[in-house]
């Protein structure tokens, strides 16, 4: 009788562990949905440059060139609080610095939603505000690449570049958005912002409010 009771207790304990693990996995997957997965997508996590002569590398991004956070209203003709752009803008945005090309990238794990993605039940909304300076064609573009567990691309999409004509030759930003189903097999998403100078000395490719939001359908 004691031996049977011991086995029953072990089964109950194992079942409890299984249920707890399942609940933890469900909670982890739920945390992937409904919020922006981009780290510091609004350039607010660190200080912004007060002018065109300083580089303030934004936390959360791996950068090349002089990719920098810049304060709204910084001296040198940068966008300010009244320029076309996001209504919820904070203190800073992203810019390219004093080089021809600058980039910033980050990789986001989608592993917690793997089973839903495999079933084709996950959609994404990818968005950013992209802009530049007056009539110059300095520009920003942003690429989203979904990759499988081996690092191979299983799908990609690009927003921009936004040129002077798109901005009506105004200093400021234009909203760009796309929505689609996350490709089956995707286990991560790599986002790369590229700022390209077309004229002048400063790379006025600019961006703000970079966002990637997943929804379970």
Residue range 23-74, pLDDT digits in tens: 334 444 568 999 999 999 999 999 999 999 999 999 999 999 999 999 999 9
pLDDT in tens, the chain (217 residues): 444 445 545 444 443 443 333 433 444 456 899 999 999 999 999 999 999 999 999 999 999 999 999 999 999 999 999 999 999 999 999 999 999 999 999 999 999 999 999 999 999 999 999 999 999 999 999 999 999 999 999 999 999 999 999 999 999 999 999 999 999 999 999 999 999 999 999 999 999 999 999 999 8
Instruction: Tokens 């249920």: give the residue.
Output: 19
Under DSSP, the state recorded for 1 is -
Helix (H), strand (E) at residue 10: helix 2-30
Could you tell me the strand order of the sheet in which 68-71 lies? 68-71, 92-97, 203-216, 122-132, 172-181
> Which of 31, 33, 62, 57 has the alpha carbon at shortest distance from 45?
57
- Residue 141 to residue 194: CA distance in whole angstroms: 5
Q: What angle do CA 31, 35, 40 make, to 5 degrees?
A: 110
Cα radius of gyration rounded to whole Å, the chain: 22
pTM given for the model: 0.86
17: left (phi over 0), alpha (psi -120 to 50) or beta: alpha
């Amino acid at each position: 009788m004691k031996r049977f009771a011991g086995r029953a207790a072990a089964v109950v304990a194992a079942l409890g562990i299984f249920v707890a693990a399942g609940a933890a996995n469900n909670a982890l997957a739920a945390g992937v949905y409904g919020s922006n997965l981009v780290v510091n997508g609004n350039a607010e996590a660190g200080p912004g440059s007060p002018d065109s002569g300083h580089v303030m590398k934004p936390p959360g991004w791996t950068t090349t060139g002089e990719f920098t956070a810049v304060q709204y209203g910084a001296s040198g003709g940068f966008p300010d609080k009244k320029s076309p752009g996001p209504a919820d803008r904070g203190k800073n945005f992203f810019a390219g610095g004093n080089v021809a090309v600058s980039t910033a990238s980050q990789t986001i794990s989608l592993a917690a939603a793997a089973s839903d993605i495999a079933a084709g039940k996950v959609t994404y909304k990818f968005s950013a505000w992209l802009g530049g300076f007056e009539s110059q064609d300095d520009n920003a573009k942003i690429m989203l690449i979904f990759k499988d567990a081996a690092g191979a691309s299983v799908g990609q999409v690009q927003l921009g570049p936004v040129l002077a004509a798109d901005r009506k030759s105004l200093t400021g930003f234009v909203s760009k958005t796309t929505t689609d189903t996350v490709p089956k097999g995707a286990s991560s998403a790599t986002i790369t912002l590229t700022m390209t100078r077309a004229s002048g000395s400063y790379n006025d490719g600019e961006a703000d409010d970079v966002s990637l939001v997943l929804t379970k359908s």
